[in-house]
Structure 1
Amino acid sequence: MGDSSVRQLIDTVAWVLIENGRILCARPRGKDAFFIPGGKREGTETDVQTLVREIAEELTVELAPDSAVHVGTYEAPVADGHDTVVRMACYTAEYRGVLTASSEIEALAWFGLGERDLVPPVDRLLFDDLAAAGSLR
């Protein structure tokens, strides 16, 4: 009771797509922030199963599960959260199809390091690592 160490964890998986030093971000309908595309696990889904389903729902492309490579897992408090932490497992993966914002997504954008402040705290950790690796400019 009253244990302040108890925290809520939001377990998410994200797709890292980088082209020309910029990373694909999406703004869900009804939200004012951009996020790295992906979403929450359902039931007993694996990371890759979650990723394939979420990206199909959000961006209408088909990820190749066998091509998925884990690039890092990050944790940070949600922007306005008290004891809520987001864990984001990030993967690259090849895709088939044309990137298109689905009905869930209001806008797509390619962000460089200069847009770091437009994404949530957990996404910024990935931005920093990608910039340090020279992938994000």
Structure 2
Amino acid sequence: MGRSCGGLSTKIHLAADGRCRPLRFVLTPGQAGDAPAFEHVMTALRVPRAICRPCTRPLVALVDRAYSSRAIREHLCKLNILTVIPQPIDQTANRKRKGRHGSRPPVFDRETYKQRNTIERCINRLKNWRGQATR
């Protein structure tokens, strides 16, 4: 439990598959940042496959805009994972303020990002499960 603006709270950092099943999750205090927990979730991730042993990395990472940082994008790029992360407004404004010296915007596929609702549904399912929520 950590203290945030709303009182004592926690954050759920979750990796889920396309069928709303949680693969790995990390709980952090409410005041903790999102980006530091990303690496903990990704290192413990094992994606199950039907035929052989589980692979250690997914093909695509649909990530919330709170995880939009250069370090996370480079980490996923090194692992050859396609990233679909929307860019926050403050990062966009900063890039535009720099003019031609600012970098190009990162690639973002809106149609693929629409599948991220599976993660939100998985989090809601975990929160509504009384046995898990009380622990």
Query: Same fold judged by TM-score > 0.5?
Result: no
More helix by share: 2
Larger radius of gyration: 2
TM-score (norm 1): 0.28
Q: TM-score, normalised by structure 2?
A: 0.28
- The answer to which structure has the higher strand fraction is 1
Structure number with greater CO (CA < 8 Å, separation at least 6) is: 1
